[in-house]
Chains A and B, each alone.
Chain A
Amino acid sequence: MTELAIETHHLRRRFGEKVAVADLSLAVRRGEVFGFLGPNGAGKTTSLKMLLALITPTAGSGTLLGRPLGDRAKRARVGFLPEHFRFQDWLTGRELLRFHGRLYGLSGAPLERRAEALLERVDLVDAADRAIRGYSKGMTQRIGLAQALLNEPDIVFLDEPTSGLDPLGRLLVRDLIRELRGRGTCVFLNSHLLGEVEATCDRVAFMKLGRVVHELDLAAEPSGLEVELRLEGGSDAVLAAHGTVLARADGMARLRVDGEAGLPALAAALVHEGARLYAMTPRRRSLEATFLEVMGEDQRPG
């Protein structure tokens, strides 16, 4: 069994004159939570649809779970929540899950059990026998999420899963993604909500104008940590002994240290020297800063 859940080489999709995706080359490992970032119109949804074979690429090739894109049998191992999930709204939540479960090849008692468990997981037991027409946006999104997990997939594609959700709903999605990771399910998350991605993803790719322009490993130890100190006193020598001083002003210092592990020793040394330490704040470079840098100045809101 291959280690890669998704592997694509130079996927490209043109719609008439417009190139929606110019070059999509990705490698996503099994079991990882992969964030796919980019401004609106960058080609994220088209990319995802190519991976799901909803759209045929104009050029390029790829595999999903070790089989060529579009392999029908492998789709039994795939879950998908489209952006703005919608379905026949006269069905009840439970009927919707039954219908989709049957398309996954489930039936009888196992299907009923699975549907019941998922209804509970997405907190829709009370609304299960009501028509989806009466659901709020968040409830619709949650039943869609349950629909994507019916087959206990090996990989789940989520296209903007938290759009339209309130903070509680977002938390639920975040927890679900963590659970999926714990079970070894690969999650491919399309999003432009950086906070969401930062909180859940192992790795992210940035897409701009139809190309992957940058990849970032969020799970890896950050190489060095910036820490900001507010203090009175404290010699440069002590600071320099624990890291590289980046800035020094009255009552403030910023330095780069090897990692979090060195922080207690730095604090102890400063206190020992008689300095008064008011605050010590590690700063990880935020995803937002990276995003803005990667996208560059030429990007305007999409």
Chain B
Amino acid sequence: MSALLTVTRLTVHEAARKRILTATLIGAAAFLVLYAIGFHFMAQRVAQEAGPSVMRQRLLLNFLALAGLYATHFLTLMTAVLLPVDTLSGEISSGVVQTLASKPIHRSTVVLGKWLAFSLVAVGYLLVVAGGVLVISRLIGGMTPPGLTVGLPLMALEAVVFVTLSISGGARLSTVTNGVLVFGLYGIAFIGGWVEQIGTMAGNVPAQNVGTIASLLMPTEALWQRAAWHMQPSIMRDLQMTPFSPASLPSPAMVWWAFGYTGLALVAGIQSFRRRAL
């Protein structure tokens, strides 16, 4: 246990020093500034146009907040994939990992320690950026989206899925191959999600099934859709007036599948790292 925390602590330091983290933090800061400015002008307009209808005002502001959280989701997934993408593959090819693996610790400790560290960093990043979006919505729009206690944990789980794939892939694949693979899976989930929505609206069952299969291959998009669904008022969901109100909401079972998926990916990563010639 103490070896695990030792590896975790070192890895958190390592992650904090990475240029990629600095870059994504700068990106997030730039985004938040733009978001605040945009939100300010939109909120003014919303107040003018919506007139006395408080409900309509609220829905438009909630839509803006969701758009900010969507950008947060995207920035977080980039960070979650890119930050740990070379942690195993890079240390294997440089030989750094040899001094770790020859210590009286399980090889799984190396993987789990890194996984824990990068999961913490990715979730921390999510909370900082999402916190920024929510503070801006509150201060400028005077509103906070509902369902954050469910929505944010789902987004955190999504970040952990990306971290897990990125680390586990690195146990076997080179850095670049690994990165391409994880983003490829993200692409499948993203397109699959849209095919499912369009299929549902068109009443096309095979298209809906394509979406479900894509979510089984990569459950992250389903997690985001469920998170977004929770973070809007029910009237907004029912009207399906924004891209964040899906015609076909992924089943809650997909959340359980995301947990299982993470576990399986982690076990696969540990197994292939244990068998790997270092």
Which residues of A approach B to under 8 Å, CB–CB? Answer: 15, 49, 52-56, 72-76, 78, 80, 82-88, 90, 99-100, 102-105, 107, 144, 147
The residues of B that contact A78 with a CB separation of less than 8 Å are 102
Min CB distance B107 to A, Å, is 9
Min CB distance A52 to B, Å, is 5
| Closest chain A residue to B274, Cβ basis | A56
Min CB distance A180 to B, Å, is 18
Q: In the complex, A73→B101 CA distance in Å?
A: 13
Min CB distance B274 to A, Å, is 9
A85 touches B102 (CB 8 A): no
Min CB distance A20 to B, Å, is 10
A87 touches B96 (CB 8 A): yes
Min CB distance A258 to B, Å, is 46
The residues of B that contact A75 with a CB separation of less than 8 Å are 102-104
Asked if B99 is at the interface of the complex by the 8 Å CB criterion, the answer is yes
Q: In the complex, A147→B105 CA distance in Å?
A: 16
B102 touches A86 (CB 8 A): no
The residues of B that contact A107 with a CB separation of less than 8 Å are 2
B103 touches A85 (CB 8 A): no
Min CB distance B106 to A, Å, is 7
29 pairs across A/B with beta carbons < 8 Å?
A15-B277, A54-B102, A54-B278, A72-B105, A72-B106, A73-B104, A74-B104, A75-B103, A75-B104, A78-B102, A80-B98, A82-B95, A82-B98, A82-B99, A86-B94, A86-B95, A88-B96, A90-B14, A90-B17, A99-B6, A102-B2, A103-B3, A103-B7, A103-B100, A103-B103, A104-B104, A105-B104, A107-B2, A147-B99
Min CB distance A222 to B, Å, is 36
B95 touches A84 (CB 8 A): yes
B100 touches A88 (CB 8 A): no
Most buried by A among B2, B95, B103, B275: B103
Q: In the complex, A78→B103 CA distance in Å?
A: 8
| Closest chain A residue to B6, Cβ basis | A102
B14 touches A88 (CB 8 A): yes
Q: In the complex, A104→B105 CA distance in Å?
A: 8
A80 touches B99 (CB 8 A): yes
Given A80-B98, A84-B95, A102-B3, 13 other A-B contacts at CB below 8 A?
A15-B277, A49-B277, A73-B104, A74-B104, A78-B102, A80-B102, A86-B94, A103-B7, A103-B100, A104-B103, A105-B2, A107-B2, A147-B99
B102 touches A52 (CB 8 A): yes
Q: In the complex, A9→B87 CA distance in Å?
A: 35
| Closest chain B residue to A54, Cβ basis | B278
Given contacts A54-B277, A76-B104, A90-B17, contact A99 B10 (CB under 8 A): yes
Main secondary structure of the interface of A (DSSP, over half): loop
Q: In the complex, A69→B105 CA distance in Å?
A: 14
State how many residues of chain B have any CB contact under 8 Å with chain A.
Answer: 23
| Closest chain A residue to B94, Cβ basis | A86
The residues of A that contact B106 with a CB separation of less than 8 Å are 72
| Closest chain A residue to B10, Cβ basis | A99
The residues of B that contact A15 with a CB separation of less than 8 Å are 277
B275 touches A54 (CB 8 A): no
Q: In the complex, A52→B3 CA distance in Å?
A: 19
Min CB distance B195 to A, Å, is 41
A103 touches B277 (CB 8 A): no
A72 touches B96 (CB 8 A): no
Most buried by A among B14, B98, B278: B98
Within 64-111 of B, Cβ neighbours of A (below 8 Å) are at 94-96, 98-106
Q: In the complex, A49→B102 CA distance in Å?
A: 9
| Closest chain A residue to B98, Cβ basis | A82
A87 touches B102 (CB 8 A): no
B164-189 contact mask (Cβ, 8 Å, vs A): 1 or 0:
00000000000000000000000000
Min CB distance A172 to B, Å, is 20
Contact of A103 among B14, B95, B105 (CB under 8 A): B105
The residues of B that contact A88 with a CB separation of less than 8 Å are 10, 14, 96
B277 touches A55 (CB 8 A): yes
The residues of B that contact A86 with a CB separation of less than 8 Å are 94-96
Q: In the complex, A85→B102 CA distance in Å?
A: 13
B4-35 contact mask (Cβ, 8 Å, vs A): 1 or 0:
00110010011001000000000000000000
Q: In the complex, A82→B98 CA distance in Å?
A: 7
Q: In the complex, A82→B159 CA distance in Å?
A: 35
The residues of A that contact B13 with a CB separation of less than 8 Å are 90
Given contacts A90-B17, A102-B2, A102-B3, contact A54 B101 (CB under 8 A): yes
Q: In the complex, A108→B275 CA distance in Å?
A: 34
